[in-house]
Amino acid sequence: MLSAELSAFASNPRVLVRRSGAIPKDARAVVYWMQRAQRVKENPALELAIAVGNELNLPVVIYFSVIANYPNANLRHYHFMQQGLRDVAEDAKERGVGFVLRRAPESTLEEFLAEVGAAILIGDENPLREPERWRVALAKRLRIPFWTVDVDVVVPSVIFNRSYVLLHHFRPHLRRQLERFLVTGEALKPKKPWKLELEIASFDLRRDITDGFTQRFAHIDRRVQPVDSFIGGTHAALKRLKQFVSESLANYEERRNHPAIDGTSRLSPYLHFGQISPITIALAVKKAAKNGQVSEAVAEKFLDELIGWRELAVLFVRHNPHYDSWECAEPWARKTLIEHTGDARTHTYTLKQLEGAETSDELWNAAQREMVVTGFMHNYMRMYWAKKILEWAPDPARAFEWAVELNDRYELDGRDPNGYAGIAWAIVGKHDRPWFNRPIFGLVRPMSGAAIAKKTDTESYKTQYREL
């Protein structure tokens, strides 16, 4: 039986008890299996682990496993992640929490749990297909309690327990919950610090975490190289947040749709890897509005993107098993896209031509080059980029497949609910309404380069990304 205090921890709406049971009497540590939330600051899963450790008078250790076959990951992603893990190691040490990095298959999570005598395993949630399958399978094998914590969103997804068709359907439900959940968490101090640094083996982060993977595994893609446009980690994310709030947030509404200038937060790679919490970002923006640095309207617009659209995307992925294929299409979009599949296309391109930015549309080419070269594409251009793929691909299913493949390969924030929801919005009408019936697009909203050029300086953007 769990104590009343531990039972109270488990009743938190962020917490999912995947395996219940009693704490082993001979337990020596509480283990936090870090995966989605790669940070120490503002991490509810870590705070829960520390709270449980304090209740049991046990130290807490973070376990992180690097696997070579993480779905669709490549060298660019691993490099950014490793930069962030160095911050995790440093920040964990300051908190009195252990940090152990191992690489599969040299060590498994279950072997580590036995090695340290784990009392309970606490993990973080991930709505994507493969990580959820891992958690379900692990819960069946474990013999100790296993809880996961929803750390990637402001409001825990279980509060809504459904997806929504449009953002304006979701907003009122979200706003009713924000006051309760948009609060900074207490940074607990472990009563019993971790003191086994020298006894428990951990991979040295001064080495490349992918070293040797090429020889032993066929899965890691080294063709997509790291970029210097972003430095990974919580420390860099907080620095970027501070810079954005002080220098760019006030002009966010006017500048955010201009790809030639730095008007957006550029925090999405850090959010994807969990190196910064959306709560940390949202509270910084709200503080700026309260202090008069920015208008309430601007703050609300930014928070609508950060919390509204982002958490709508998480619910979409949680509740739609087809989130990364055209099968997730809205019925009206699916019907009219099929009706227009045979429409003549002015241009058609292969996936290889698209990847190489070899189209007749220099604005689209610039967006593709930005992604390939920097690991990031301006938010406004992502919509146009995906819609042109629909226009040029042989059919909508192929268009969706190609957009996902390119996005997940080159974007630092790829392989993410936000990316899948964005592609679904652009190509198959997800979270959008029917538009006017047009060739190829059917009732899906179109976008044109000419219309974009009327709103922003596309020539400067094309000049910035003229070559790969």
In a domain, 413, yes or no: yes
In this prediction, residue 396 carries a pLDDT of 98
pLDDT tens for each residue of 351-369: 999 999 999 999 999 999 9
What average pLDDT does range 154-176 have in this prediction? 98
Q: Quote the domain boundaries for residue 257.
A: 159-185+233-319
State the residue for tokens 């709270």.
51
In a domain, 452, yes or no: yes
In this prediction, residue 215 carries a pLDDT of 58
- Looking at the 3D structure of the chain, how many domains does it have? 3
pLDDT tens for each residue of 219-259: 688 899 999 999 999 999 999 999 999 999 999 999 999 99
* Residues paired with 103 in a beta bridge: 66
Residues 237, 276 contacting (CB under 8 angstroms) = yes
What average pLDDT does range 59-66 have in this prediction? 97
Q: Pick from 301, 319, 337: which residue ends a domain?
A: 319
Q: How confident is the model at residue 197 (pLDDT cuts 50, 70, 90)?
A: confident
pLDDT tens for each residue of 89-122: 999 999 999 999 999 888 899 999 999 999 999 9
Residues 70, 81 contacting (CB under 8 angstroms) = no
pLDDT at 218 over 70: no
Q: How confident is the model at residue 1 (pLDDT cuts 50, 70, 90)?
A: low
381 closest CA partner among 401, 365, 393, 392? 365
Q: How confident is the model at residue 217 (pLDDT cuts 50, 70, 90)?
A: low
pLDDT at 262 over 90: no
Helix (H, G, I), strand (E, B) or coil at 353: helix
- 410 and 313 housed in the same domain: no
- 177 and 313 housed in the same domain: yes
In this prediction, residue 221 carries a pLDDT of 85
Cα separation, 16 vs 121, in Å, equals 12
In a domain, 228, yes or no: no
In this prediction, residue 198 carries a pLDDT of 78
406 closest CA partner among 462, 367, 434? 367
CATH number where 246 lies: 1.25.40.80
What average pLDDT does range 196-213 have in this prediction? 91
In this prediction, residue 437 carries a pLDDT of 97
In this prediction, residue 347 carries a pLDDT of 97
* Residues paired with 65 in a beta bridge: 102
In this prediction, residue 68 carries a pLDDT of 85
In this prediction, residue 216 carries a pLDDT of 55
Q: Pick from 319, 339, 354: which residue ends a domain?
A: 319
pLDDT at 213 over 90: no
Q: How confident is the model at residue 71 (pLDDT cuts 50, 70, 90)?
A: confident
pLDDT at 28 over 90: yes
Cα separation, 386 vs 422, in Å, equals 9
In a domain, 441, yes or no: yes
Cα separation, 123 vs 235, in Å, equals 23
DSSP annotation of 176 reads: H
Burial of 217 (0-12, 13-18, 19+ CB in 10 A): middle
pLDDT tens for each residue of 307-361: 999 999 999 999 999 999 999 999 999 999 999 999 999 999 999 999 999 999 9
- 16 and 119 housed in the same domain: yes
Q: How confident is the model at residue 196 (pLDDT cuts 50, 70, 90)?
A: confident
Cβ atoms within 10 Å, residue 125: 26
Q: How confident is the model at residue 7 (pLDDT cuts 50, 70, 90)?
A: confident
Residues 6+ apart with CB under 8 A from 77: 70, 412, 414, 415
Q: What is the mean pLDDT of the chain?
A: 95
> ∠ CA(255), CA(272), CA(124), 5° rounding?
145
pTM over 0.85: yes
pLDDT tens for each residue of 293-311: 999 999 999 999 999 999 9
445 closest CA partner among 456, 460, 435? 435
- 343 and 412 housed in the same domain: yes
In this prediction, residue 402 carries a pLDDT of 98
Q: Pick from 151, 177, 202: which residue ends a domain?
A: 151
